[in-house]
Chain A
Amino acid sequence: MQMPEPDAAVIARRDSILAALRKIVPATSVVDSEEGRRAYDADGLSAYRQLPLVVVLPETVKQVSAIMRYCYQEGIKVVPRGSGTSLSGGALPLADAVLLAMGKFNRILDIDYANRCVVTQPGVTNLAITHAVEDEGFYYAPDPSSQIACSVGGNVAENSGGVHCLKYGLTTNNLLGVEMVTMEGEVVRLGGKHLDAGDYDLLGIMTGSEGLLGVVTEVSLRILQKPATRRALLVGFDETATAAQAVGDIIAAGIIPAGMEMMDHLAINAAEDFVHAGYPRDAAALLIIELDGPEVEVDALIDRVDTIVNQAGASSIKISMSEDERLRFWAGRKAAFPAVGRISPDYLCMDGTIPRRALPDMMVRMAALSQKYGLRVANVFHAGDGNLHPLILFDANEAGELQRAEDFGADILRACVEMGGVLTGEHGVGVEKRDLMPIQFSEDDLKQQQRLKCAFDADHLLNPGKVFPQLHRCAELGRLHVHQGKMPFPDLPRF
Chain B
Amino acid sequence: MTETPLRPETLADILPIIAEAMATQQPLAVAGASTKSAIGYPVAAATLVQCDRWTGILDYQPEELVLTVRAGTPMAELTDLLESHQQMLAFEPPDPRPLFGGNHQGTIGGVLASNASGSRRLTAGAARDFLLGFEAASGRGERFRAGGKVVKNVTGYDLSKLMVGSFGTLALMDEVTLKTLPRPETAISLTFPAAHFAEAQAIIAGIFATPYEPSAAAILPADMAQKAGLSEVMQVVIRLEGFAVSVADRATHLLNRFDRGEKQGEAESRRLWQDICDTRLLADENADIWKISCPPSSGAEILATLEAEINSADNPYPYYADWGGGLIWMAAPSYTPSKVAFGSILRDAVAQHGGGFAMRVRTADSDQGLTPVVVPPFQPLDAGRLALHQRIKAAFDPIGILNPGRMHQGI
Residue of B nearest to A255 (CB): B182
At the interface, yes or no: B399 with Cβ under 8 Å from chain A? yes
- Which one, B25, B212, B245, contacts A488 given CB within 8 A? B25
Render A160-178 as a binary contact track against B, CB cut-off 8 A, 1 for contact.
0100011001101100000
Contact residues in B for A448 (Cβ distance below 8 Å)? 138, 142, 144, 146, 159, 395-396
At the interface, yes or no: B354 with Cβ under 8 Å from chain A? yes
Residue of B nearest to A207 (CB): B158
Q: Known: A201-B165, A495-B394. Contact between A195 and B327, CB under 8 A? A: yes
Contact residues in A for B326 (Cβ distance below 8 Å)? 194-195
Q: Known: A198-B379, A297-B246. Contact between A420 and B63, CB under 8 A? A: no
Q: Known: A169-B129, A424-B155. Contact between A297 and B249, CB under 8 A? A: yes
State which of A13-21, A23-31, A369-377, A381-389 sits at the interface with chain B: A381-389
Contact residues in A for B83 (Cβ distance below 8 Å)? none
Q: Known: A186-B384, A489-B399. Contact between A205 and B157, CB under 8 A? A: yes
Contact residues in A for B154 (Cβ distance below 8 Å)? 158-159, 161, 170, 208, 424-429
Q: Known: A386-B151, A449-B146, A488-B22. Contact between A195 and B323, CB under 8 A? A: yes
Render B343-355 as a binary contact track against A, CB cut-off 8 A, 1 for contact.
0000000000011
Report yes or no: A300 in contact with B398, Cβ–Cβ below 8 A.
no
At the interface, yes or no: B271 with Cβ under 8 Å from chain A? no
- Which one, A188, A255, A425, A454, contacts B153 given CB within 8 A? A425
Report yes or no: A116 in contact with B208, Cβ–Cβ below 8 A.
yes
A166, A227, A295, A421: residue with the most chain B Cβ atoms closer than 10 Å: A421
In whole angstroms, what is the CA distance A452 to B331 when docked?
A: 37
Report yes or no: A199 in contact with B398, Cβ–Cβ below 8 A.
no
Q: How far is the CB of B377 from chain A (nearest CB, A)?
A: 10
Contact residues in B for A453 (Cβ distance below 8 Å)? 157
Report yes or no: A256 in contact with B143, Cβ–Cβ below 8 A.
no
From residue 281 to 316 of chain B, which have CB atoms closer than 8 A to chain A?
A: 293-298
Q: How far is the CB of B408 from chain A (nearest CB, A)?
A: 7
In whole angstroms, what is the CA distance A446 to B155 when docked?
A: 11
Residue of B nearest to A249 (CB): B63
Contact residues in B for A386 (Cβ distance below 8 Å)? 64, 150-152
At the interface, yes or no: B162 with Cβ under 8 Å from chain A? yes
From residue 243 to 272 of chain B, which have CB atoms closer than 8 A to chain A?
A: 243, 245-246, 249-250, 253
Contact residues in B for A467 (Cβ distance below 8 Å)? 156
Q: How far is the CB of B293 from chain A (nearest CB, A)?
A: 5
Report yes or no: A382 in contact with B152, Cβ–Cβ below 8 A.
yes
State which of A124-132, A279-287, A323-331, A479-487 sits at the interface with chain B: A479-487
Q: Known: A194-B326, A424-B155. Contact between A113 and B138, CB under 8 A? A: no
State which of B100-108, B119-127, B219-227 sits at the interface with chain A: B119-127
At the interface, yes or no: A11 with Cβ under 8 Å from chain B? no
In whole angstroms, what is the CA distance A425 to B152 when docked?
A: 5
Q: Known: A200-B166, A293-B246. Contact between A173 and B129, CB under 8 A? A: yes
Contact residues in B for A481 (Cβ distance below 8 Å)? 141
Q: How far is the CB of A452 from chain B (nearest CB, A)?
A: 6
A201, A255, A433: residue with the most chain B Cβ atoms closer than 10 Å: A201
In whole angstroms, what is the CA distance A112 to B293 when docked?
A: 17
Q: Known: A208-B157, A493-B394. Contact between A445 and B145, CB under 8 A? A: yes
Report yes or no: A353 in contact with B389, Cβ–Cβ below 8 A.
no
In whole angstroms, what is the CA distance A387 to B64 when docked?
A: 12
- Which one, A199, A385, A427, A495, contacts B379 given CB within 8 A? A199
Q: How far is the CB of A311 from chain B (nearest CB, A)?
A: 15
In whole angstroms, what is the CA distance A304 to B68 when docked?
A: 29
Q: How far is the CB of B132 from chain A (nearest CB, A)?
A: 10
Report yes or no: B152 in contact with A170, Cβ–Cβ below 8 A.
yes
Q: Known: A225-B209, A293-B213. Contact between A301 and B129, CB under 8 A? A: no
From residue 195 to 243 of chain A, which have CB atoms closer than 8 A to chain B?
A: 195-205, 207-209, 225-228
Contact residues in A for B122 (Cβ distance below 8 Å)? 195
At the interface, yes or no: A399 with Cβ under 8 Å from chain B? no
At the interface, yes or no: B73 with Cβ under 8 Å from chain A? no
At the interface, yes or no: A321 with Cβ under 8 Å from chain B? no
Of all A-B residue pairs in the complex, the 7 with the closest CB atoms, nearest first, are A204-B161, A297-B246, A198-B357, A254-B182, A194-B356, A193-B295, A455-B391
Name 20 interchain pairs, CB-CB below 8 A, sorted by A: A161-B154, A193-B296, A194-B295, A200-B162, A205-B157, A254-B183, A354-B150, A357-B63, A426-B154, A437-B155, A444-B144, A445-B146, A448-B138, A448-B395, A448-B396, A478-B398, A481-B141, A483-B19, A488-B22, A495-B394
Besides A422-B153, A480-B399, 7 new A-B residue pairs in contact (Cβ under 8 A), listed by A number: A169-B125, A194-B326, A199-B381, A357-B64, A429-B156, A445-B144, A448-B144
